Structure 1
Amino acid sequence: MSERSTTEWDASGQLEVLTFDIGDERLAIEAVSIREILDLLPETRVPGAAALVASVVNFRGKIIPIADLRVAFGMPIQEATADNRIVVIETELDGEATQIGLRTDKVHEVTILERARSSEPPVLGMRWRRQYVRELVRLAEDVVVIPDLANIFGAVPGAASTLQH
């Protein structure tokens, strides 16, 4: 099990993020990691691939693995809707910049989170693996989950070679 990644808050204790929904949960990814927000594209299943990244899309001639965070968080898989989007992020896996598409139920907005309103995930009371959550942040009436993508994708067997194209 790898150690939890830390959130890169700026000097004033703020973090610019893109918020999106997966199921009833609001998640956030640092805005600097976002490369594209796409409508759903035709996906090609990859035989033998891990359930988390079981398919790829062809976008502008580049093959991008598609991750379904529902799998990591043990949530039921849902049928696609008109609100679904693919958020293409760039993250580092085993020292290499890798683009991955995250399937989302609905993309919301780019917003600023405040470090003063954040906390580490509790030891008890979480329905997800604690190592998959970097921080929880209160935003208005919601609690926003900042997922630990390094731990999520690091748990995929052969992640670095599987996800890099």
Structure 2
Amino acid sequence: MSTEQDALSSQHLTFRLEGELFAVEVAKVREVLDLVPITKVPRAPNYMRGMINVRGKVVPVVDLHVKFGMPPAVNSRDTRIIVLEVEVLGEQLVVGAIADAVHEVTELEPGAVEAVPRIGMHWNTEFMKGIGKRHEHFVILLDVNRVFSVDEVVEVKDVFDEALPAGH
């Protein structure tokens, strides 16, 4: 890995879910959007809010609260959609993720990141890369490529293929 890639992978976008601070690698973030109307999709999994149009492309939107076993997100003026690039089985997928608030891009030094503890966590630790320390706060580093299982991606693709007219 080059020095430029090392620098890039240490930069993270921080956001909040239910009062907890999370982060994803900046390299996985396409953009951050204000909350826009989300079109519901029949028969979608419970963690799927629906779909949005991002520059002419249909993007599924996930409620990370539900995905992580929290109560569903409650929209506020700070709610944002983080548009992410996720890789599953070598395929690049674009997905939107609901966040209570998006904070900043921050640099996390390698020495400030520790392994995920095996006990005492409220969430499924398989989604996490580590726990970072930023000033006096802990930051849960997500591995966006692990948030969705292969079966879930296939299920979401099937539901969206049925919901979209041919040719989209």
TM-score, normalised relative to structure 1: 0.85
Of 104, 110, 123, the residue aligned with 2:105 is: 110
CA drift of 1:58 comes to 1.4
Q: Tell me the SS of whatever aligns to 2:157.
A: helix
How many residue pairs get aligned? The number is: 157
Partner Cα separation in structure 1 for residue 8 and residue 38 of structure 2: 39
Which residue of the other structure, out of 149, 153, 156, is the alignment partner of 2:152? 156
Q: Is the 8 A contact 1:93 1:160 kept in 2?
A: no
Residue 115 of structure 1 aligns with an amino acid whose one-letter code is P
Matches of 1:61 and 1:157 in 2, distance apart?
Answer: 21
Contact persistence 1:90–1:100 (CA under 8 A): yes
- Pairing 1:146–2:146 present: no
Shift of 1:156: 2.0
Output the aligned Cα RMSD.
Answer: 2.4
- How far apart are residue 123 of structure 1 and its match? 1.1
Kept after mapping to 2: 8 A contact 1:37/1:86: yes
Task: Please tell me whether the aligned partners of residues 38 and 49 of structure 2 are also in contact (alpha carbons under 8 angstroms).
Answer: no
The alpha-carbon deviation at position 69 of structure 1 amounts to 0.9
Q: AA paired with 1:70?
A: H
Q: Is the 8 A contact 2:82 2:96 kept in 1?
A: yes
Any unmatched runs of 5+ in structure 2? 162-167
Out of 124, 127, 134, the residue aligned to residue 119 of structure 2 is 124
TM-score (ref. length: structure 2): 0.83
1:83 aligns with: 78
Letter in 2 for 1:144: V
Selected match of 2:43 from 31, 40, 48: 48
How far residue 149 of structure 1 moved from its aligned partner, in angstroms, is: 2.1
Query: What SS class does the counterpart of residue 70 from structure 1 fall into?
Result: helix
Would you say the 8 A contact 1:14–1:114 is kept in 2? no
Larger RCO (CA under 8 A, 6+ residues apart): 1
Unaligned runs of 5+ residues in structure 1 are 1-8
Q: How does 1:36-75 map to 2 (within 5 A)?
A: 36-75=31-70
The answer for the alignment partner of 1:6 in structure 2 is: none
SS at match of 1:158: helix
Identity %: 34
Out of 16, 22, 29, the position equivalent to 1:21 is: 16
Larger Rg: 2
Checking the alignment, whether the CA contact within 8 Å between 2:22 and 2:141 is kept in structure 1 is yes
